[in-house]
Amino acid sequence: MTDFDAMYKQDDDPWSVRHSWYERRKRAVLMASLPSARFGKVLELGCGIGEMTYLLSSVGAHVMAVDASETAAAICRRRVGRAGANNVSVQVLQLPASWPLGSDDSFDLVVVSELAYYFSEPELASFIEQCMASLALQGIWVMCHYKPQFHDRIGSTDEIHNKVNALSELQRIVSHDDEQFRLDIWRHATGARS
């Protein structure tokens, strides 16, 4: 896997998340697509430097943001701290080997953006299983990923999203698919699928 910590040490915004039109547009579409203006517990996996984390702090009572990079997590903490988002905690974990909750924790909103295509098949299967186990009944699961090919991508966006969409416990409530990114949002509604 890519050494993200080294990337963030070299450039604190290696993907121009703060300023690129693609990133700003993607965040706006994601936030506008959420089915509710408020959530209890929010889990953001792959928080990076915290631009999405900051937005999620406005809709979540508590946001747990997770990244594999110590450097990115430190930038995220500073970002949300400067903004006065006291409802955010940031953890450094190597997903999916480590998971940010205990066996009885569940989340009302799980957000995965620009992350899942870095996982091998076994890692992806574990990741999907753990996301599902972390989602409260009636909870919302968001997946948003870049579509074009790039050098360190392992899985395709469509294949990854289709695997999640195949889970019988989920009902897809939003789907946005353009040439740049795919956004899918599901509700955990066991037995709701026809």
- Please write down the HEC assignment for all residues of 22-77: HHHHHHHHHHHHCCCCCEEEEEEECCCCCHHHHHHHCCEEEEEEEECCHHHHHHHH
Query: What is the model's pLDDT at position 94?
Result: 83
Domain ranges of the chain: 4-188
Query: What is the model's pLDDT at position 194?
Result: 36
Question: Could you give the CA distance from residue 72 to residue 130 in angstroms, rounded to a whole number?
Answer: 23
pTM given for the model: 0.90
Residue 127 has phi, psi (to 5 degrees) of: -60, -50
Query: What is the model's pLDDT at position 193?
Result: 44
Q: How far is CA 137 from CA 58, 102, 187, in A?
A: 22, 17, 8
CB-count burial class (<10 Å; 0-12, 13-18, 19+) for 156: middle
Question: Could you give the CA distance from residue 51 to residue 123 in angstroms, rounded to a whole number?
Answer: 26
CATH code for the part of the protein at 4-188: 3.40.50.150
Q: What is the mean pLDDT of each run of 10 residues along the chain (194 residues)?
A: 63 67 92 98 92 96 94 92 94 83 79 89 94 95 90 86 95 96 94 46
Query: What is the model's pLDDT at position 102?
Result: 58
Question: Could you give the CA distance from residue 84 to residue 96 in angstroms, rounded to a whole number?
Answer: 30
Question: Could you give the CA distance from residue 43 to residue 131 in angstroms, rounded to a whole number?
Answer: 9
